[in-house]
Each structure stands twice: as C-alpha cells, then as structure tokens.
Amino acid sequence: MLSHTQWVKIELKKETSKIWAHRAVKVGNLFYIYGGYSDSYFFSPDLFVINLDTFEVETYRAPENCSPNKRYGHIMFYHDSEIWIQGGSSTTLSSNFLIFNISNKQWRIYEPTPAPPPRYDHSHILHNGNLYIFGGGTGNDNFFNDFWIFNFEKQKWEQIFSKGDIPSQRVSATLQPYKDGFYIFGGKEKGGDRKNDLHFYDFVTNKWSLVKTLGDPPPPRTGHCSFLYNSKLYVMQGWNGGEPFSDIHYLDLITKRWNILEMKEHPDARVAAGVYFDAESATFYMHGGYVNSWNYLNDFWCLSLDSPSLTKDLFKMLNYYNLSQKQFVDFRELCLQMPFLQTRLDRYKQNFLELLIANPINQHAYPVLLSYLITGTLLYAKISTNFSEIENDLLNLTKNIPIFEPLQKLLKHEPNSVSLSNLQLTNDLKMYYSEESTKDFSIIVGSERIWVHKDILYSRSELFRGMFESVLQENQTNFVSDYSQKSIDSIREFVYFLYTDELRDSVSFNVALELLDCPEYYGLSSKKIANLAQSIISENLTLENVDKALKIAEQFEKDNLIEICTDFKRKHQKPTSNLNQN
C-alpha cells in the first residue's frame, strides 16, 4: 500500500487567505478551516468551508462579540453538530470555547469554570465522548505538561494527575489515539530544544511510558503534523528552527520500527499547516502553512493512501468490454452502451458526443480517453506508442468540459496533476451505485437478491472475474448464489464497498466481523475493507463481544486484531480467583 501513496493538489474555486498555525476538521463532505496567522488580518477571524465535491469555498467570520474571535495555536474538533474551538492566542491568551453551529451558521462563546490556564499550541484528542488536552504554553518559555479532561455530559473540566514517564513541558506536540490510549510525538521544550521522543499514555492504568523504537526516527521538530492509519503512525512536515521539512516518516506500531516513505512528488516543505486525517477514506488533507518570514501558503492538498488499488481495479473494466489498443471500438457508440461512462459523462454526454462528431481526432486518442474516463488516470497513455501525437487532439476536444478539467492538467504536465481526478471518480462511483435501472446482475442471499453492475464485480473481484470468464459466460446467467454464509447485511456492505472503497457509518459490529475475510474470499486486490472492518471492531469492543471477535480474528489469521483483542481482555477483565475451596 505504501508504495502507491500519492499527493494530489486540489484547485479551489475561490482562494482562502494565506495562513498558518490554523486548525482544520472534516465533517461529511465539508472541510472547515479556522484562525491562524493571516496575510490579510494578521490574526484571522475567518472560518473557511471547502466543499470537497464542488471545491467551492464559503466564509463565515467570527463576530467581535465572540471574544477572542481571532486566534492561532488553538485546538479544533467536531462535536454534536458543532465545530468547537478551544484556547489559542491572539492579543491575549484564551481558555474558552468558540463554537460554530453547522446548521444555523451562528457563533457563540462557552466559558465553563474553573478551566485550565489559558494556553496556545497545546495538543488534544477525543476519547469516549470526552476531550483531553495536554501541554501548550503561554509564551516567554512558560510551557506546560499538565493533562486535562473536559466531560461534555457534565460540562466540566478536571485535571488528571497521571504517573510514569510523563513527557516534559512542551508546545506543538502531536497526539494520536491508539487502542486504549494515545501516542504523543515531538514538540518544543523550554529553551527552544525540539524533541523527537515518543510517549504513550494508557487510559486504563493512567500511566505514561517512553516508547523504545527501532530504525531512524524523524529529526526533532515542531509545527509538524501526524496521523495514524492501519497500525502505522505517520509524521511529516514541521521544522527544527531552520528550513522546514517535506519528509514523511512512519512508525510500524507492531514492529516499533521507523521507516521513510519515499515520494517523487510532494507539496512544498512547511510548518504549522491546517490538517485533518479522514480514516474512513484513508485520506490526509493539508491546507496552507508557513515557509519562512511572511511567506504563507493557501494551497490545498490531499494524501490518498488506498485509492490506487481502486484505480487499477477499474482498469480491468477495459478487459470486461473486450477493449484493447489493437481492437478499436467506435467511441460514440461505446459511450451509449457502457452504463458507467453514461454516469461519468452525465449532463455533458450529449454535447461531448456532438463534439466528437464535429471534430474527428486521431483514433489512438480514443483508447486514452476511454482509459481516463474509467480510471481517472492516463494509465493507457503509458502503453500508447502514439501519445505525443494525440495530446493536442485531446486538449482541444476536452477543454471547457468540467469533467475533463483534471485531464487537462495531466496533459499539460502540471505538477501533482492528479488533482481533482480521484475525488471526481469517487463521487461518480457513488452515483453509479445508485443507478438501479442499469444494474444487470444479482447476488442471491437466501431468498433475497442484491442487484449490482457486472462490470464492477468483474473489475473488483477475482472470484467474480473467474466466474464471468468461465461458467457464467457459457450459461449466460445474470445471477449467482452466494455460498459464503454471510448475512444479507454484510453482502450489501461488501457490494457498497466495491463501488466506493468505503464502508458506511451504519456498519454494525457483527457485520464488520463478517467482512474481515472479504479480501481473501472474494479475491480483492486490497485489504482495505478488512482494515476498515477492523477499525469498527476495535472501536466497539466490550467484555461481552471480545471473545467472539478474538475467535474470528484467529480463524481468519488477523494478527493485528488478535493483538488488539488480547490487549483489551488483559486490561478490562478482572483476574479470576485461584483460592482453593476447602
């Protein structure tokens, strides 16, 4: 998976301010950015809202009566249909909450007392419905290593007095939740020393420990960002007081070994960007940041960890329709025959087909165009011996058509030009999933049928691909019975994943257990569905269901889940008494 990771730059329809030391959070398809140092207002009072489907930007300015309405070095998170912002600094330090209601677009201040001392550049996580903050500072080398909890139900702050190897007083560390605790990495101590140490806090034992690791850790840094995915802790960007970093390091939390993620293309090195990791889509978002004095950024990037496997699967759709470079099929006719192409072209279809008729192009351009529409990439162009001859044809044919905007960037060789393509493709696949009228195959589970597009099954599953190329092709059958003994709900979620590469929020613990072996049973090219299912299982473990989860994890040889379940039992089950009954 790591070798397929790629950065993509997203071109917004409207520019935001150039800012750093701001914060960000994603809710649904909306990406919220607030505060920071701004090139326009010095301290920014603006909340920018980016629509990740359309890339439109809206701005909601915090009013002056919500003091302080401008702040940097704060924390920001989503809770109960609202965006919560806590702490930070501007002309004064703050410890209150600045809250934005997503529904009515109204701002308010909430100031529970007593509260932690005001601070900036502190770290936070949400755990079991509570907010936890650690460290931060007030300036002038006055830093903290205190630990606080805010209980939303009680609306009350309390200080936590923990034990063990407590991290030193510091600002600008990063926290990432893992199992029944969290990791804290880096930051700056009094005197300006930057750190690259790693600590772990255990909620069950209320104890800190210094984590011993193998390999070369990232250089000491502040202003960095981190995220945790698939039992790997990623650390990137930031600085050590000199030039900013552009590197990406990751720690395998199973082996405890640091590695470097090599990438040919990446954003400019920066400090204190606004970042958020969306675990459901395995996508890391990054906005803005600081390069050097008065050089602030407002570019927007995403780092997609799993999408290339989906792209490679969709490339197999060309084989399903018996298309190859040697066998040219009339493209206009094909657009009318392939339901996925109809979905992708949508309302532009008729105008585009008229363009094809009015502007004949090199026939070698059609397979390249087809490849782009199906996969969102120019994979086909890499094997085309005539690509240089057709670039101008493609540029002229596809200009001013919104769906081909990413293709224009690819053809112009713009840096990181995959841009909007993956995001457009994901949205179109979700639309394709909803196109019930064009589904041409059904999976029978008990007495029920689940309808699906045969080209998706062929592209995504080796099991179904083999069926279509042999038995089902001979019998011309448009259905198959599922013999996996999975429930109807789990098969529905499996089918939804084939289209979207995602699982829905409604997936239950038991359905997640049934999805663990999907990569092996159905012959998927990625283990992403199992990883997503494992996350759902891990987050919903109880004393009542942990043994069931452990048994299935052992049955499917899911070593990471075995470790999670075993660790959960160790921490939560009371020891049995060995007293003799004499």
Q: What residue type is 120 in one-letter code?
A: Y
- Res 419: pLDDT: 41
Q: What residue type is 229 in one-letter code?
A: Y
Q: What is the mean pLDDT of residues 38-45?
A: 79
Where does the pLDDT of residue 518 fall: very low under 50, low under 70, confident under 90, or very high at 90 and above? very high
Contact 460, 495 (CB under 8 A): no
List the one residue out of 561, 565, 570, 567 whose CA is nearest residue 546.
565
Flag the least confident range among 412-426, 446-460, 551-565: 412-426
Please list the residues that pair with 374 across neighbouring strands: none
Q: What is the mean pLDDT of residues 299-327?
A: 72
Higher-scoring residue by pLDDT: 249, 375? 249
The vertex-256 CA angle with 170 and 519, nearest 5°, equals: 120
Higher-scoring residue by pLDDT: 402, 107? 107
Q: Is 300 helix (H, G, I), strand (E, B) or coil?
A: strand
Where does the pLDDT of residue 385 fall: very low under 50, low under 70, confident under 90, or very high at 90 and above? very low
Instruction: Specify which of 2-11, 111-120, 427-436, 460-469 reaches the highest per-range mean pLDDT.
Output: 111-120
**Cα 273 from Cα 358, distance rounded (Å):** 47
Flag the least confident range among 141-150, 277-286, 336-345: 336-345
pLDDT exceeding 90 applies to what percent of the chain? 54
**Cα 306 from Cα 269, distance rounded (Å):** 23
- Res 63: pLDDT: 94
- Res 370: pLDDT: 77
**Cα 104 from Cα 98, distance rounded (Å):** 15
Kindly report the length of the chain: 582
* Cα radius of gyration rounded to whole Å, the chain: 26
**Cα 61 from Cα 90, distance rounded (Å):** 16
Q: What residue type is 424 in one-letter code?
A: Q
Flag the least confident range among 181-185, 477-481, 483-487: 477-481
Does residue 34 register a pLDDT over 50?
yes
- Res 384: pLDDT: 47
List the one residue out of 246, 282, 249 whose CA is nearest residue 265.
246
Q: Which domains does the chain carry? A: 1-16+227-305 (no CATH), 309-432 (no CATH), 439-572 (3.30.710.10)
- Spatial CB neighbours of 3, under 8 Å, sequence gap ≥ 6: none
Q: Is 331 helix (H, G, I), strand (E, B) or coil?
A: helix
Does residue 117 register a pLDDT over 50?
yes
Q: What residue type is 563 in one-letter code?
A: E
- Spatial CB neighbours of 426, under 8 Å, sequence gap ≥ 6: 281, 307, 500, 501
Q: Is 132 helix (H, G, I), strand (E, B) or coil?
A: strand
Q: What is the mean pLDDT of residues 370-397?
A: 68
- Other C-beta atoms lying within 10 Å of the C-beta of residue 150: 21
- Res 227: pLDDT: 95
- Res 452: pLDDT: 96
pLDDT exceeding 70 applies to what percent of the chain? 85
Alpha-carbon torsion (152, 156, 162, 167), positive or negative: positive
Tens of pLDDT, residue by residue over 224-276, are 999 998 789 999 999 998 899 999 999 988 888 999 988 777 899 999 999 99
Q: Which long-range contacts does 256-262 make (Cβ < 8 Å, 24+ apart)?
A: 256/211, 256/212, 256/213, 256/214, 257/213, 257/214, 257/215, 258/213, 258/214, 258/215, 258/216, 258/217, 258/218, 259/215, 260/216, 261/2, 261/5, 261/234
The pLDDT mean for the chain works out to 85
Q: What is the mean pLDDT of residues 508-531?
A: 93
Phi, psi (5° rounding) for residue 500? -110, -15
Where does the pLDDT of residue 328 fall: very low under 50, low under 70, confident under 90, or very high at 90 and above? very low
